């Protein structure tokens, strides 16, 4: 999996929602309708703020005054348009970037509140795909009745001048590199794979690559707000989308409307701490899965304890490292792909039966089902092509925070603390956090607290056993925000809104429709 910050949210079921990792090799949050990932860096900065001075309103006037030319999308009920923004906000008179936007109009009845912008996380998840595949048709009817549902693919993502890095065969090779190196040769192979990935991104993406940061995307969102004719931004962001929403509130506190930040990230943490915390989150999720599994007579990890289940899974990973499991195709299931397949199923407890079946088959010598889970995480198509999710994920994460490590020696030094956080996943996720070390463009962001003084009430939602965005991150972000309110969901999976809790959905819907957040410290189950 890709410790680059994989927080993402799935638009349909098992694919897009919670990739937040900052240093892994892949990432997914399979199966949540609303989720996203995180990365490593140095210490927290005392002073927040964008990397470059904000351009003046006059310099951006032509962008804020755009009139979108809405057209049919080819998807029933949805319209599409293109939004223009400066490629570099420090040079607003310079080259432009074009961003893909989609909307579905409010259905009524009731007075229209405005536009509700949605983002599924990642970074790298397609917001337009999420809107058209889930939010625009699956959000609660009272919300869709009173809001135009809107999405913009962030710069570098999907339809918005996407970051490109590797060919399909090159990406296949990248996902199979051993992320638990046993000797110097394997360390060298892993670092070389990160170097090839970064070089491919620089070669294939060019001028866009240094300008896909979260701060720049948040500025794009404010242009979109104005173009849509809204005085305030109303927004639901999942996983990494919570960092994007919080960044918007930091830059434009007076323009904050109703912001829901579900599966929250903690912007005050370094990349190293984010990766280690997320590793602990996956361990928490695995233990919940294991407790359920060992109570079943057909559990592929045995019927003993949670600890013995973890030992059985590690034994399988080590066996797959020594002798990859056949899958019926050219790609065999080695340790890296096997680990990614298991992690993919941690994002939603609804995927646990699929994981039990996949592990049963893989341990028995047939790895195709577990490989399919890994492929869903990477968004690999049957024809061997990949979406740009993983490329955008790395590009954004490596700009937003300085790298976790200066080199392999730092990864080796950190590995024991990762293993302490997760005996099952820790070693691999520790080494995966090396990816931003080799990035061709320097980071423009730094970890810092976000207070957004002067913003309207912001609703932060946290799930107690969230694998990708640990619950303590939601507590921290709600405490940082001057107007933050925390809503807690006591349960499993990545993110909470729209995942089956009437208590959570009622609280979020009431906030979106009436502007009233729930009582402080409200808890749902």
Task: Please pick, among 22, 410, 494, 501, the residue that the annotation labels catalytic.
Answer: 494
Give yes or no: 466 in active site. Answer: yes
Quote the pLDDT of residue 292.
Answer: 98
Out of 400, 466, 492, 505, pick the active-site residue. Answer: 466
The b/e string for 277-295 (b: 16+ C-beta within 10 A; e otherwise) is: bbbbbbbbbbbbbbebbbe
pLDDT at 454: 98
Q: Check residue 45 and give its pLDDT.
A: 32
Neighbours of 206 (CB within 10 A): 11
- Residue 374 structure tokens: 């890994």
Mean pLDDT by 10 residues, the chain (525 residues): 34 36 38 32 34 74 96 96 97 97 96 98 97 97 98 98 98 97 97 98 97 98 98 98 98 98 98 97 97 98 98 98 97 98 96 98 98 98 97 98 98 98 97 97 97 98 96 98 98 95 98 96 95
| Confidence (pLDDT) at 58 | 87
Closest CA to 101 of 154, 151, 163: 151
239: annotated active-site residue: yes
Beta-bridge partners for 463: 489
pTM: 0.92
259: part of which helix (H) or strand (E)? strand 256-262
Cα–Cα distance for residue pair 475/466, rounded to 1 Å: 13
Query: What totals of helices (H) and strands (E) does the chain contain, helices first?
Result: 18, 12
Catalytic pick from 239, 336, 387, 501? 239
- Give the per-residue pLDDT at 54: 74
Catalytic status, residue 318 = no
Q: How far, CA to CA in Å, does 431 sit from each of 28, 286, 427?
A: 18, 20, 7
CA distances from 274 to 6, 40, 91, 313 (A): 11, 6, 32, 24
Residue 58, token pair as written in the block: 């006059």
Q: How far is CA 151 from CA 20, 159, 185, 258, in A?
A: 20, 12, 45, 16
> What is the reported pLDDT for 36?
33
H helices present in 345-388, as ranges = 352-363, 368-378
Q: What per-residue confidence (pLDDT) applies to 432?
A: 96
């Amino acid at each position: 999996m890709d410790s680059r910050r994989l927080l993402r949210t799935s638009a349909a079921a098992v694919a897009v929602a919670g990739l937040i990792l900052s240093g892994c090799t892949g990432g997914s949050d399979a199966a949540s309708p609303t989720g996203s990932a995180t990365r490593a860096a140095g210490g927290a900065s005392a002073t927040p703020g964008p990397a470059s001075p904000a351009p003046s309103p006059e310099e951006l006037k032509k962008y804020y005054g755009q009139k979108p030319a809405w057209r049919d999308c080819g998807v029933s009920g949805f319209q599409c348009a293109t939004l223009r923004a400066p490629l570099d906000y420090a040079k607003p008179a310079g080259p432009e970037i074009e961003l893909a936007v989609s909307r579905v109009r409010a259905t009524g009845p009731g007075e229209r509140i405005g536009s509700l912008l949605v983002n599924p996380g990642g970074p790298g998840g397609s917001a337009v795909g999420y809107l058209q595949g889930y939010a625009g048709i699956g959000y609660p009817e009272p919300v869709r009745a009173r809001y135009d549902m809107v999405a913009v693919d962030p710069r570098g993502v999907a339809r918005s001048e996407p970051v490109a890095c590797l060919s399909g065969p090159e990406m296949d090779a990248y996902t199979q590199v051993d992320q638990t190196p046993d000797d110097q040769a394997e360390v060298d192979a892993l670092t070389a794979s990160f170097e090839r990935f970064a070089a491919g991104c620089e070669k294939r993406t060019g001028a866009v690559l240094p300008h896909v940061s979260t701060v720049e995307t948040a500025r794009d969102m404010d242009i979109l707000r104005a173009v849509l004719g809204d005085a305030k931004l109303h927004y639901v962001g999942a996983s990494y989308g919570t960092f994007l929403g919080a960044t918007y509130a930091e830059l434009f506190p007076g323009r904050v409307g109703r912001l829901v930040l579900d599966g929250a990230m903690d912007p005050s943490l370094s990349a190293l701490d984010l990766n280690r915390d997320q590793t602990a989150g996956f361990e928490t999720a695995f233990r919940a899965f294991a407790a359920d599994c060992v109570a079943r007579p057909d559990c592929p990890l045995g019927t003993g304890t949670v600890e013995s289940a973890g030992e059985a899974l590690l034994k399988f990973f080590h066996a797959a490292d020594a002798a990859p499991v056949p899958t019926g195709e050219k790609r065999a299931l080695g340790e890296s792909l096997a680990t990614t397949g298991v992690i993919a199923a941690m994002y939603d407890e609804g995927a646990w039966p699929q994981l039990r079946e996949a592990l049963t088959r893989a341990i028995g010598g047939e790895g195709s089902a577990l490989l399919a889970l890994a492929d869903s995480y990477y968004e690999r198509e049957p024809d061997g092509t990949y979406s740009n999710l993983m490329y955008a994920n790395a590009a954004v994460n490596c700009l937003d925070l300085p790298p976790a490590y200066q080199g392999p020696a730092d990864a080796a030094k950190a590995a024991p603390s990762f293993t302490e956080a997760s005996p099952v996943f820790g070693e691999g996720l520790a080494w995966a956090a090396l990816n931003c070390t080799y990035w061709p463009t320097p980071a423009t962001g730094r970890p810092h607290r976000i207070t957004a003084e002067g913003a309207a009430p912001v609703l932060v939602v946290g799930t107690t056993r969230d694998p990708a965005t640990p619950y303590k991150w939601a507590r921290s972000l709600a405490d940082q925000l001057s107007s933050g309110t925390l809503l807690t969901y006591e349960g499993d999976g990545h993110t909470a809104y729209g995942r089956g809790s009437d208590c959570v959905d009622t609280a979020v819907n009431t906030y979106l429709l009436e502007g009233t957040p729930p009582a402080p410290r409200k808890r749902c189950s």
